Amino acid sequence: MGRRVRAFRKLKGYTQQELADSTGISLAVLGAVERGNRRLEDQILNKIADVLGVTVQELSDPT
């Protein structure tokens, strides 16, 4: 999922800091998520999806 979060973030033109600020998570947590070292709580995953304008399934589903 981390690679998809990163891909959508870049596609939408957000920096890591901008996405972290918009979702209320720390830059360190977002970095760990994008590297695949940390899983997100559903509430935070929903916030990221909302900010990026995608569904949670789009972030989670590799197809």
Place of tokens 């899983």: 39
Please tell me the predicted confidence (pLDDT) of residue 40.
85
Please tell me the predicted confidence (pLDDT) of residue 57.
93
Please tell me the predicted confidence (pLDDT) of residue 25.
94
pLDDT < 50: residue spans in the chain = none
Q: Is 5 exposed, middle or buried (0-12, 13-18, 19+ CB in 10 A)?
A: buried
Question: pLDDT digits over 13-30, tens only?
Answer: 999 999 999 999 999 999
Please tell me the predicted confidence (pLDDT) of residue 60.
85
Please tell me the predicted confidence (pLDDT) of residue 63.
58
